[in-house]
Amino acid sequence: MSLISVGILEDKGANLSLEANIRTINYQFIFDARILSTDEVLADGNMPRIGDECVYNSSLRLKNISLDSNDNRIWIAACEYASDASMISEGYAYDFKCSAILKEEVVTRAYSHEIIQGETIISSKGLDAEARGEPNLPIVVSTGNPMSEPLMGVYVNKQFSWWQLEPEAMNEYIESGEIYDQIGFVNSQEVVIGGLTVKSFEGEMKSITPERYFYTNPVSLESELRYKTSYVVEIYQKGTAAIILDQDYQAKLAALYEDAGAESEVLRNVRLADLPDNAGKIVLNDANDKEVQDPIKLDGTGKVLVADALPVYNKFGYKKTSDWTATMNLATANGDSLNASTV
């Protein structure tokens, strides 16, 4: 048995509905004798191999071969080429898109609350990084009072969507429903998706939609059950932790009127005489002493910040987090070869 002719019957170009940057070329192989085994056809030295470059576009590599014949002598090989050979070797397919979205959000409760001065964490409380359920910490400054202004407003995020053909090892994880547990979670570790680096705590998994997909093994030509999963990630340009200056109109100060049995220090409105810069200049409750008109910097414990001290900030983590690299098998191919665009 030997090959006597090879020709291209049809080049479909990049027209397949499911995949971006894909080209299917139908080759005709004519042998001098009938071949009853597809393995023999695939074994011929002239047959394209998985990972080979496309003759029309060197950035595309052979991903799949389907064989067909009416008389076992003339064989048609439908060769499907796609971008990025490293993804092909893992059995992936992909289609990445990136767009800008306008986000409007007001945060009322958080999962974690840290009070930070310079490099020092004064206090920290909240649920674990892998927390589930609803946030239970109020958005307050160190006096315990609510923020004077809403924590968030209107801003622009990116939305990054793609689909990928999962490896067979993901079947059990998908069928058990565990994969859906990642919806609504932020990445606790930096991750690369389609060449786009998503820094820690900047990406939220908005949607995961698996579909059953029968993948044809290019060697055995047997069908394998895989899942084609669509993902949507929202990328928070400013992260998912809000950092707010610790300040308030009130502070823990000496009581204005010390009645019998009264506490020496109380939470009250800050007056000009309470400010460090006015020490010795304004006397408490004299004619020049008035309540402050702007919030005063606090020290992280509810007291007025001393002069020349580093400012103190409240850091609120308002999204659930998980390690995506440990729970999902996300595509990490180079973004340029996938034509992933940024806004």
Residue-range domain boundaries for the chain = 3-83, 96-243+318-327
Give the span between the Cα atoms of 11 and 26, in whole angstroms: 6
Give the span between the Cα atoms of 50 and 34, in whole angstroms: 24
Structure-derived torsion over alpha carbons of residues 189, 161, 16, 24, reported in degrees to the nearest 10: -20
For residue 279, how many other CB atoms are within 10 A of its CB?
10
Tell me the C-alpha to C-alpha distance, in Å, between residue 3 and each of 10, 40, 42, 124.
20, 11, 12, 73
CB 145 within 8 A of CB 302: no
Q: Which residues, in sequence order, are CB contacts of 203 under 8 Å at separation 6+? A: 160, 186, 187, 191, 233, 234, 235, 236, 324
Give the span between the Cα atoms of 212 and 194, in whole angstroms: 22
Per-residue pLDDT of the chain (343 residues; tens, 9 = 90+): 677 777 777 554 433 333 446 778 888 888 888 887 777 887 777 788 777 778 777 777 777 788 888 888 888 888 888 765 333 333 344 456 667 777 777 788 888 889 999 989 998 887 554 555 678 888 899 999 987 666 766 677 888 887 777 777 888 888 888 888 889 889 888 888 766 788 888 899 999 998 887 666 666 666 677 788 888 898 887 778 888 899 999 999 988 765 545 667 889 999 998 898 887 788 787 778 889 999 999 999 999 999 889 999 998 888 888 888 877 777 664 332 233 333 2
Give the span between the Cα atoms of 155 and 226, in whole angstroms: 38
- Sign of the alpha-carbon torsion through 258, 261, 263, 268: negative
CB 206 within 8 A of CB 230: no
Q: What angle do CA 54, 60, 61 make, to 5 degrees?
A: 75
Q: What angle do CA 250, 253, 256 make, to 5 degrees?
A: 100
For residue 121, how many other CB atoms are within 10 A of its CB?
12
